[in-house]
Structure 1
Amino acid sequence: MSEPETAPIGLERDLFLRRLLRELAGTLEDVVGLDEASGYISVVGAAIGEQIDAEYKRALRVERLDRAQVARVLVDLKRRIQGDFFVIEEDATKIVLGNRACPFGELVAGRPSLCMMTSNVFGRIVAENLGYARVELPETIARGHSGCRVVVHLVPSEDADPQGREYFRAMDQDGGGPVAAFSRGTG
């Protein structure tokens, strides 16, 4: 009989935490529904987005990222957590990203509420730095696509996808400056 320490068990911290998040998302989706589960995960994504934004601005020694820096930060942060995001298109009105590998790996399959992490992290960073974002996720690995397509609108649009989620930079009570980004919408 083998010893537990040498048994061929595929378990380590990263896999354990991804499994934990998958099961948590699945439980939320089953108990409260997909929309509510996405809402809960959005709250977590918002907090993480604010932390990541602050880290990049501190490391780059800037008060605010410009559009080109924002696009590079979105790709870089996903690279650092083993995603494979890339810019498909970028202009004054939008940043379109593709993705070939989800940071949650194969465990994201069937858990679309986990995509709210991407929506909120991206939305918070973009809105905090550029003032506005509307994040649409027309294709996701979680919903069975071979990759993800993320459209981040930088200006409001009448013909926006109703499933998208809007993010705004809030102003302080004196109207003098941003305090934090906030969001509205479905997704």
Structure 2
Amino acid sequence: MAASKIQVENLPVKHSKEVFLLQLVSQLSKTLEDVVGLEDAEGFISLVGTRIGKLLNADYHTASCVNESFDLETVARVLVDLKHRIDGNFKIDSLSPDKIVLLNSRCPFGDKVIGKPSLCMMTSNVFGRITADNLGYAKVELDETIAKSDGRCRIVIHLVYEQAEDNSAREYFQDTTSDRQ
């Protein structure tokens, strides 16, 4: 027998636009991983991350009224700031002319990222695109990730072509075919 006149508006269901979008992205990435495999899922998510990276880079340039490329320190601060704005907890661990090392203790995807490493391609591509478009080159290594149950993220962004040792790291080169818009 069906229940009648349930006050659904007062049920303790944790749904909001943010929760819905997190679930949507999480389930989309998991579905891609299951259907086409991790490598191809990462490829699809990388395409989205690249586009978002370009948009975010343009947003920071427009907001700061800076038309030329950001310097190394500003790039690192932009990467940390954008993750803070979406509820990540990134910080600069070290900064040198050769690399940027970032640590993170809270993923913007929350616990929805665990077991879905393809979602890390968003971070890789956004960070890689912004870094390369400002500094000329980036090779992003995802040394540790919350998605792989490491308990934190450790992201190394190499700025010198020969330096990265991780073969699974992704390379990004400055996009000289279009402006930041």
Question: Which residue number in structure 2 is paired with residue 48 of structure 1?
Answer: 52
Find out whether 1:38 has 2:42 as its counterpart: yes
Q: After alignment, is 5-14 or 153-162 more displaced? A: 153-162
Match of 1:3 in 2: 7
The one of 150, 157, 160 equivalent to 1:155 is 160
Residue by residue, what CA displacement relative to the aligned partner does 1:83-131 show, whole Å, maximum 9, x if unpaired? 0000000000000000000000000000000000000000000000000
Could you tell me how far 1:160 is from its partner in structure 2? 2.0
Q: Secondary structure at the match of 2:143?
A: strand
How big is the shift at 1:4? 1.0
Please state if 1:83 is matched with 2:77: no
Q: Is contact 2:139–2:164 with CA below 8 Å preserved after alignment?
A: no
**Partner Cα separation in structure 2 for residue 108 and residue 170 of structure 1:** 29
Which of these residues, 117, 139, 148, is aligned with residue 122 of structure 2? 117
Partner of 1:87, secondary structure, is strand
The letter for the 1-side match of 2:165 is: A
Task: Give the TM-score normalised by the residue count of structure 2.
Answer: 0.93
> Quick one: distance in 1 between partners of 2:179 and 2:116?
28
Query: Within 2, Cα distance between the matches of 1:147 and 1:68?
Result: 23
Write the distance in 2 (CA, Å) between the matches of 1:117 and 1:143: 15
- Give the structure-1-normalised TM-score: 0.90
Matched, 1:140 2:142: no
Structure with the higher fraction of residues in strand conformation: 1
Q: State the identity as a percent.
A: 51
Equivalent of residue 57 in structure 1, options 50, 58, 61: 61
Residue 38 of structure 1, CA deviation: 0.2
Specify which structure has the bigger relative contact order, considering alpha-carbon pairs within 8 angstroms and separated by 6 or more residues: 2
What's 2:30 paired with? Answer: 26
Q: Which has the larger radius of gyration?
A: 2
Report the number of matched residues: 175
Measured after TM superposition, the shift of residue 2 of structure 1 is: 3.7
CA distance in 2, matches of 1:150, 1:81: 17
Gapped regions of structure 2 (runs ≥ 5): none
Cα distance, 1:158 vs structure 2? 5.1
1:185 is matched with: none
> How far 1:12 sits from its partner (Å)?
0.9
Displacement of 1:41 in angstroms is 0.2
1:105 equivalent in structure 2 = 110
